[in-house]
């Protein structure tokens, strides 16, 4: 808290410089976690934190994350020497030796994102359902709206800013750390030969570890070279969790983490669509997710209050926290000396989770080569006084992906205008990478950097294509063995093991039994062996039960006397047939659509009247199209047109089981498709009245 206080209000010399270096390294430009890796088809549990829709139908039967970590850092205030970064030598860092103030005059920002994925696992229950269990610890921090003149007073001061009226608009400093336990559920909702659609949800219980924020209104400050304050006007709202009170006064981080400081609930939602034109592997995968819906209620320290600073005429050293001074003593001293006046306190802090929208597209270029485009969009305003946020980021990642090995190279650009190029690899259970390592090689001074690493236990799904090949091979081997070891003593083409009449030659269709009269009823079951008869009547000729001249095999109404012209059913009135045909001739559709033109609806209403007048009548609806478009498109369009007519008739009270639909695409034109008039005639439906149901 002392760090933040001093940081906002005044220049604090070299002590303050070291504090800001810590901020520059610790509170740095944040983006999504595990840049370039999370959308790999073999990223397993790590993919769930970006989109729980990735859970079901994954490459794994089981995937266990032992430990994974990601950290992203960057700012526009300080620059770190590249050699220090790559050698990881951060001892004895001083301004001007190892790190430097940037030369830009913009308002300064710093961001932090560290993400540790603890023991976690995902399990595919069956072909459609999967579950995941996630443990995770995260910390985020933002510094936003630090004016360049105030920044120049910090550390090695630029003398040009002494005895100068300096203005800083609303400044925000926010950090929070929290742990979470999540349960994820994923399901494939739709799957066919060419596409797949799946969804997922993660519910999370949040345990707050620590929190701090400091926000100001307008700040006006003027300091002389002796650090005497000529003018300092500011209202400061300080909030932080009580476990930070003892840090810097004998308290340790372990002490700070012994008690829960807050709690809350969170939710991640996601969906994924895959286009699979050639089987199991997708050509294009699209993902949409909304992560970190929810909030955490932290306890607020008794010293977390709104303070008005009235330090004119005092030295900046009086605002510093003295060694061995507790925060209670520090704040009491400031108020007793009249340096600050407190205005109020709230016992709770409600901090939202860093809600973000993720849009993702993954395209299979060729075989194992993919390219991924991802947009992570922050939904929390930078000016929010309480909640730290992610930084919106767009990333394009080409990758080569195999079962036990992947390499990837992300290129990203964030909302702060920072461009980065990185690389990473997955080697069996281990993955490691960085979203900025390659671009950093071309810079002497670095303002942002990141790294991720993890160790998992992968247990893969059975490969469906390999299983199919194995089954086909087994079938071939088995068939080959049977051909060698089986016999056919009557030489009729049916092996003895399957021949129902192994000593008498017969057709294969009858499993080797003879059929002398050729009626497809074997002699041993034919009750009229010398006469060609019907299969339905045990080899005897089919009777004509109703005596209408149509035998029962062909009679659609075998128990009712009818006419030969209507398949043995009673004739339908010719005037009804004429009305249906006339109506069908006057039903047309919008070009390339299944929309019935409105002036055709009265014709369909006449058909409704006919069907309602006789409950024995049924209607066959045939859909047709013109030749414009592909064969597949026309086939699908004719189906929709026939169903559009059926749907209208059903909406008018006709039972669906009285309506039968067929579709013929452009295969049965009435007129030439060379003219617009002919094409209009071909966009039609034909209708046939029946009083029998097709067998």
pLDDT value at residue 345? 79
Predicted confidence at residue 455, as pLDDT, reads 97
d(CA 532, CA 76): 96
SS3 assignment, position 149: helix
* Strand ranges inside 491-617, DSSP E: none
Question: Of all residues in the chain, what percent carry a pLDDT higher than 90?
Answer: 42
Q: Which helix (H) or strand (E) holds 84?
A: helix 82-87
H/E element holding 622? strand 618-623
Judged on CB neighbours under 10 Å (0-12, 13-18, 19+), 343 is exposed
Q: What is residue 84's predicted lDDT score, i.e. its pLDDT?
A: 78
Rg value, the chain, Cα = 39
The whole-number pLDDT of residue 435 equals: 93
Burial of residue 224 (CB within 10 Å: 0-12, 13-18, 19+) is exposed
pLDDT tens per residue across span 294-335: 999 999 998 899 999 888 889 888 888 887 787 778 888 998
Least confident span in 186-190, 480-484, 546-550, 635-639: 480-484
Q: By three-state DSSP, how is residue 595 classified?
A: coil
d(C-alpha 442, C-alpha 624), whole Å: 64
- Higher-pLDDT residue of 92, 574: 574
Q: Which of 461, 405, 458, 407 is nearest to 66 (CA)?
A: 458
Beta strand pairing call for 94-95 and 98-101: parallel
- Predicted local confidence at residue 320, as pLDDT: 82
* Burial tier of 623 (Cβ tally within 10 Å: 0-12, 13-18, 19+): buried
The pTM of the full predicted model, rounded to 2 decimals, is 0.65
pLDDT in tens, 27-70: 333 345 789 999 999 999 999 999 999 999 999 999 999 999 99
Which of these ranges, 39-48, 288-297, 566-575, has the smallest mean pLDDT? 566-575
In the block, tokens 């059903």 appear at 650
* Pick from 69, 68, 70: nearest CA to 28: 70
Cα–Cα distance, 352 to 335 (Å, whole number): 31
For 191-212, what is the mean pLDDT?
94
Over 70: is that where the pLDDT of 257 sits? no
d(C-alpha 30, C-alpha 50), whole Å: 15
- Average pLDDT of span 189-203: 93
Longest dimension (CA), the chain: 128
Tens digit of pLDDT for each residue in 205-234? 999 999 999 899 888 999 999 889 898 888
Q: How far apart are CA 157 and CA 170, in angstroms?
A: 22
Token code pair at residue 121? 């696992």
Q: Who contacts 373 (Cβ-Cβ below 8 Å, separation ≥6)? A: 360, 361, 362, 394, 395, 396, 397
Name the pairing type of β-strands 172-191 and 166-168: unpaired
Choose the weakest-confidence range: 172-186, 287-301, 384-398, 678-692: 678-692
Domains along the sequence of the chain with CATH: 2-464 (2.40.160), 574-690 (3.30.1330.60)
Candidate ranges 465-474, 592-601, 651-660; pick with highest mean pLDDT: 651-660
pLDDT > 60? residue 465 = no
Rounded to an integer, what distance in angstroms lies between the CA atom of residue 555 and that of residue 566?
Answer: 9
Q: What residue has token string 């006046």?
A: 341
Q: Which residues contact 674 (CB under 8 A, 6 or more apart)?
A: none
CB 318 within 8 A of CB 335: no
Q: How far is CA 156 from CA 159, 320, 613, in A?
A: 9, 17, 98
Helix 13-26 to helix 2-9 angle (10° resolution) is 110
d(CA 511, CA 520): 11
Residue 128: count other Cβ atoms within 10 Å of its Cβ.
14
How many residues are listed for the chain in this entry?
695
| Model confidence pLDDT, tens digit, residues 612-653 | 998 889 999 999 888 888 888 888 988 998 999 999 999 999
**Residue range 185-189: average pLDDT?**
96
Confidence at 179, pLDDT banded by 50, 70, 90 = very high
595-618: average pLDDT:
89
Let me know: does 220 contact 167? Beta carbons within 8 Å. Answer: yes
Q: Which pLDDT belongs to residue 546?
A: 82
Tell whether the model's pLDDT for residue 18 goes beyond 50: no
Neighbour-count burial of 214, counting CB atoms closer than 10 A to its CB (0-12 exposed, 13-18 middle, 19+ buried): buried
| Residue 478 confidence (pLDDT) | 53
Mean pLDDT of the chain: 85
Q: How confident is the model at residue 499 (pLDDT cuts 50, 70, 90)?
A: confident
Residues 197 and 191: their CA atoms lie apart, in Å, by 6
Residue with tokens 């922050």: 378
- Mean pLDDT throughout 94-99? 84
Check residue 505 and report its DSSP letter: -
Cβ atoms of 235 and 161 within 8 Å: the answer is no
- Give the pLDDT score at 13: 33
Mention every residue, 6+ apart, whose C-beta is less than 8 A from residue 326: 245, 246, 249
Please tell me the predicted confidence (pLDDT) of residue 543: 85
């Amino acid at each position: 808290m002392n760090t933040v206080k001093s940081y906002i209000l005044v220049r604090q010399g070299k002590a303050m410089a070291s504090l800001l270096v810590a901020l520059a390294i610790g509170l740095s430009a944040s983006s999504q976690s595990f840049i370039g890796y999370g959308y790999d088809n073999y990223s397993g549990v790590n993919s769930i934190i970006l989109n729980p829709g990735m859970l079901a139908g994954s490459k794994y039967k089981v995937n266990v994350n032992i430990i994974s970590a990601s950290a992203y850092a960057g700012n526009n205030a300080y620059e770190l020497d590249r050699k220090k970064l790559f050698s990881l030598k951060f001892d004895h860092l001083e301004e001007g030796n190892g790190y430097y103030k940037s030369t830009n005059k913009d308002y300064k920002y710093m961001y932090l994102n560290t993400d540790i994925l603890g023991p976690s696992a995902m399990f595919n229950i069956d072909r459609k359902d999967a579950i995941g269990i996630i443990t995770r610890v995260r910390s985020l921090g933002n510094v936003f709206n630090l004016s360049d003149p105030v920044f120049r007073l910090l550390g090695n001061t630029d003398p040009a800013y002494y005895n100068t009226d300096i203005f800083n608009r609303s400044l925000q400093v926010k950090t929070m750390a929290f742990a979470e336990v999540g349960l994820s559920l994923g399901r494939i909702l739709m799957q066919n030969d060419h596409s797949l659609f799946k969804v997922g949800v993660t519910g999370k219980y949040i345990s707050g570890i620590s929190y701090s924020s400091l926000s100001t209104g307008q700040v006006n400050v003027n300091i002389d070279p002796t650090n005497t304050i000529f003018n300092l006007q500011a209202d400061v709202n300080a909030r932080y969790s009580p476990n930070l009170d003892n840090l810097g006064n004998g308290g340790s981080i372990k002490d700070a983490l012994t008690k829960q400081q807050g709690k809350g609930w969170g939710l991640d939602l996601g969906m994924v669509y895959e286009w699979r034109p050639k089987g199991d592997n997708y050509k294009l995968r699209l993902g949409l997710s909304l992560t970190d819906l929810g909030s955490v209620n932290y306890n607020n320290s008794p010293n977390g209050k709104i303070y008005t600073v009235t330090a004119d005429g005092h030295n900046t050293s009086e605002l510093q926290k003295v060694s061995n001074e507790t925060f209670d003593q520090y704040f009491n001293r400031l108020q007793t000396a009249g340096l600050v006046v407190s205005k109020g306190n709230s016992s709770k802090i409600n901090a939202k989770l860093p809600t973000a929208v993720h849009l993702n597209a993954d395209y299979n270029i060729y075989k194992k080569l993919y390219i991924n485009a991802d947009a992570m969009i922050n939904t929390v305003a930078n000016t929010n006084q309480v909640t730290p946020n992610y930084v919106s980021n767009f990333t394009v990642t080409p990758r080569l992906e195999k079962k036990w090995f992947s390499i990837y190279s992300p290129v990203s650009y964030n909302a702060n205008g920072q461009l980065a190029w990185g690389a990473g690899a997955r080697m069996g259970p281990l993955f490691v990478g960085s979203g900025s390592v390659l671009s950093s090689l071309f810079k002497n001074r670095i303002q942002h950097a990141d790294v991720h690493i993890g160790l998992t236990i992968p247990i893969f799904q059975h490969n469906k294509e390999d299983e199919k090949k194995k089954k086909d091979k087994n079938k071939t081997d088995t068939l080959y063995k049977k051909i060698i070891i089986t016999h056919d003593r009557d030489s009729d083409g049916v092996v003895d093991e399957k021949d129902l009449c192994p000593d008498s030659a017969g057709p294969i269709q009858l499993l080797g039994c003879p059929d002398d009269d050729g009626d497809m009823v074997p002699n041993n079951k034919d009750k009229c062996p010398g006469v060609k008869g019907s299969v339905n009547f045990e080899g005897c000729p089919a009777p004509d039960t109703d005596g209408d001249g149509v035998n029962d095999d062909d009679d659609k109404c075998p128990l009712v006397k009818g006419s030969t012209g209507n398949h043995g059913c009673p004739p339908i009135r010719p005037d009804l047939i004429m009305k249906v045909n006339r109506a069908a001739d006057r039903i047309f559709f919008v070009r390339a659509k299944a929309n019935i033109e409105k002036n055709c609806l009265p014709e369909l209403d006449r058909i409704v009247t006919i069907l309602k007048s006789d409950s024995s009548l049924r209607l066959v609806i045939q859909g047709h199209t013109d030749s414009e478009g592909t064969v597949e498109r026309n086939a699908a369009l004719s189906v929709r047109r026939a169903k559009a007519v059926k749907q209208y008739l059903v909406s008018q009270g006709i039972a669906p089981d009285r309506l039968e639909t067929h579709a013929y695409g452009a295969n049965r034109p009435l007129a030439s498709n060379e003219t617009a008039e002919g094409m209009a005639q071909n966009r039609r439906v034909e209708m046939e009245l029946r009083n029998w149901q097709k067998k």
